A and B are shown apart, each in its own frame.
Chain A
């Protein structure tokens, strides 16, 4: 079977674990070379690179706090220096502070927006120049169900992920005519190991609340990202694909 991302170059932010890692590995499986960003988890990113290598694809490791504009520009520059182009950007990096509004500090609120929104803006802006020159490109933003329908304890996180959806739709309108697709995915409860921990509930209790009776897997999210990163989605612009097992239908 043909690989969907053969000879493509993708930059995935926050790729040291969870959904980000699976996206990077699935993209490699589909034929892409990868630039993978991380901030602090050196061991995690090495494991991601090892998995990518199994598919014979290159992995460029890029340490950076991409909520800093210059750092974000720098990782995009390094990707272009290494691979000479960027076809796909996946804005996956994110932070979650699971706190009620009256408990969340100003610093935590700001950090949430810096990582979840500002970083996506900085990376997209830096990549767009290359994509416009190439005459094609794909930007996929990993939002959240919290940004679509809200969630208790997610005031900062939900607001930032809703902002990412607004960013997705607006940018899609700006660049659709340039053959650049900008779309988003809004995952619900995904079994990353962190979900049950942060929500304070067991996997079984969470699964019982989901109409399809189970949590989603990072692999399932990754396959939808690959679809949006491939030519199969060339006429989809500004769409938010909700992956929630029927939770919000």
Chain B
């Protein structure tokens, strides 16, 4: 496995879903890991400063953007889900900006943006996924010269998620057309994130790597 000795990592939403597994894997491989829990976008800058402390050293920033976990409910969904997705995306961008400010001062850093897996509805998944890709490419190009690497991992289906019956039926159908023929294990998503967070991924800038069992081919 890849080593992160003497590295400081910050994981946005590191207390939930993929974020939690990534934080745990980074720590297991030697990094000092700090987590930002779900916060309001307006509090992001203060929260990051608080979490990083006075030294503000930051080698790795894992920017995990969860999608909406709200169940499809014709009467109640819609605006609530949209608002939640927009809020998460705003937080995602605010956290990235603040972390980049620290990395720019240092003159180096690695950012891995991570989209959520397919948890509720396809439209939510696409909303989050495309936001992550767009942000990665935009910032990736801008920061190439500053020795800051920004890349992304785009997962799709992960086993063991809390799916409703209706979702399970839909996902089973999706699996039939999935080249890999099965959902990913959580560690299969975490490993590429760790690779992109490591120095082994030199010369890769602004790439969104699909870890989706071939769904996106």
Taking a contact as CB atoms under 8 Å apart, the answer to whether B214 and A246 are in contact is no
* Segment at the interface with B among A38-46, A85-93, A110-118, A229-237: A229-237
Taking a contact as CB atoms under 8 Å apart, the answer to whether A177 and B181 are in contact is yes
Taking a contact as CB atoms under 8 Å apart, the answer to whether A176 and B195 are in contact is no
* From B202, B203, B209, residue with most partner A Cβ within 10 Å: B203
Residue A121 CB within 8 A of the other chain: no
Residue A125 CB within 8 A of the other chain: no
Against A, the Cβ 8 Å flags (1 = close, 0 = not) of B197-209 are 0001111111101
Against B, the Cβ 8 Å flags (1 = close, 0 = not) of A199-233 are 00000000000011100110111011011000111
Closest to B188 in A: A235
Which size class do A's interface residues fall under? 35 or more
Residue A173 CB within 8 A of the other chain: yes
Taking a contact as CB atoms under 8 Å apart, the answer to whether A241 and B179 are in contact is no
Taking a contact as CB atoms under 8 Å apart, the answer to whether B181 and A249 are in contact is no
Closest to A231 in B: B191
- In the docked arrangement, what's the CA distance between A173 and B214, Å? 7
Taking a contact as CB atoms under 8 Å apart, the answer to whether A237 and B180 are in contact is yes
- In the docked arrangement, what's the CA distance between A70 and B94, Å? 58
Tell me which residues across on chain A come within 8 A of B201, comparing CB atoms: 223-224, 227
Residue A74 CB within 8 A of the other chain: no
Q: How far is the CB of B140 from chain A (nearest CB, A)?
A: 5
Residue B101 CB within 8 A of the other chain: no
Taking a contact as CB atoms under 8 Å apart, the answer to whether A232 and B191 are in contact is yes
Number of cross-chain contacts by CB at 8 Å: 108
- In the docked arrangement, what's the CA distance between A89 and B191, Å? 21
| Known contacts A235-B184, A246-B141, A246-B144; A172 and B214 CB within 8 A of each other | yes
Residue B86 CB within 8 A of the other chain: no
- In the docked arrangement, what's the CA distance between A238 and B211, Å? 10
Tell me which residues across on chain A come within 8 A of B144, comparing CB atoms: 211-213, 245-246, 249
Q: How far is the CB of A145 from chain B (nearest CB, A)?
A: 11
Closest to B178 in A: A176
Taking a contact as CB atoms under 8 Å apart, the answer to whether A211 and B204 are in contact is no
Residue B189 CB within 8 A of the other chain: yes
- In the docked arrangement, what's the CA distance between A224 and B212, Å? 18
Tell me which residues across on chain B come within 8 A of A212, comparing CB atoms: 144-145, 147, 203, 205
| Known contacts A1-B1, A212-B145; A234 and B137 CB within 8 A of each other | no
Closest to A210 in B: B144
Residue A243 CB within 8 A of the other chain: yes
Residue B213 CB within 8 A of the other chain: yes
Tell me which residues across on chain B come within 8 A of A242, comparing CB atoms: 204, 207
Tell me which residues across on chain A come within 8 A of B179, comparing CB atoms: 172-173, 176-177, 237-238
Residue B192 CB within 8 A of the other chain: yes
Taking a contact as CB atoms under 8 Å apart, the answer to whether B203 and A239 are in contact is no
- In the docked arrangement, what's the CA distance between A239 and B191, Å? 15
Taking a contact as CB atoms under 8 Å apart, the answer to whether A221 and B203 are in contact is yes
Q: How far is the CB of A62 from chain B (nearest CB, A)?
A: 28
Residue A169 CB within 8 A of the other chain: yes
Taking a contact as CB atoms under 8 Å apart, the answer to whether A232 and B195 are in contact is yes
- In the docked arrangement, what's the CA distance between A54 and B2, Å? 22
* From A1, A213, A234, residue with most partner B Cβ within 10 Å: A234
Beyond the given A213-B144, A220-B202, A238-B214, please list 16 additional residue pairs across the A-B interface where CB-CB is below 8 A: A1-B1, A4-B1, A177-B179, A211-B144, A216-B203, A221-B203, A227-B195, A232-B192, A232-B194, A234-B188, A236-B210, A237-B214, A238-B216, A239-B210, A246-B141, A249-B141
Pairs A–B under 8 Å by Cβ, sample size 30: A172-B217, A173-B214, A176-B179, A176-B180, A177-B179, A177-B180, A211-B141, A212-B145, A212-B147, A213-B144, A223-B200, A226-B200, A227-B200, A232-B194, A235-B189, A235-B212, A236-B210, A236-B211, A237-B179, A237-B180, A238-B216, A241-B204, A241-B207, A241-B209, A244-B203, A244-B205, A245-B203, A245-B205, A246-B141, A249-B144
Q: 4 tightest CB-CB pairs across the interface, nearest first?
A: A237-B214, A176-B179, A246-B144, A249-B206
Residues of A within 8 A of B (CB): 1-2, 4, 169, 172-173, 176-177, 187, 211-213, 216-217, 219-221, 223-224, 226-227, 231-239, 241-246, 249
Residues of B within 8 A of A (CB): 1-3, 137, 140-141, 144-145, 147, 179-181, 184-185, 188-189, 191-192, 194-195, 200-207, 209-214, 216-217
